[in-house]
Amino acid sequence: MLSHPAHLIAQGFGSGLSPIMPGTAGTLLAWLAFGVLGSRWPGLFHPASWGLIIVAGFLLGIWACHRTGRDLGIADHGSMVWDEIIAFWLVLVVLMPAEFSTQCWAFLWFRFFDMVKPMPIRYFDRHFKGGFGVMWDDIVAAFYTLLVFALWRFL
């Protein structure tokens, strides 16, 4: 993880090295970081700045995940969780402000879609390669999660 800065980023600052469910560990890190940063510096971490962080993080993730996948010899290695971090931040920003229970449901739905990979997530996961492919399928899982909340609010 420490052999190159891209590995540190792609592996979620070590959360992706969890021996049990690294994607869930990365998502939990995202949730914790979002809460800590937002409560510690609310004037700095507001929806607009989070939007910039997410876009920059997505672009950084394309590079970091491509480099890490290449170095590890597996394009979408299980230890790479930056994609979960950025995608879950997207979910949390769109749901702002959200109660803790809503965030819990968002976490569960996001993990469900990321693990089960219903279409078209599965298609993107199998056909989009490199760093973009690693990052994109989780953005679609975030979209599905937000769709669940939109339907819930509508009904």
pTM of the predicted model as reported, rounded to 2 decimal places: 0.94
**Nearest 5 degrees, angle CA 128-CA 129-CA 131?**
110
CB within 8 A of 71, min separation 6: which ones? Answer: 3, 4, 6, 7
Q: What residues does each domain of the chain span?
A: 5-154
pLDDT for res 35: 95
Cα four-point dihedral sign 140, 142, 143, 145: positive
State pLDDT tens for residues 46-91.
999 999 999 999 999 999 999 999 999 999 999 999 999 999 999 9
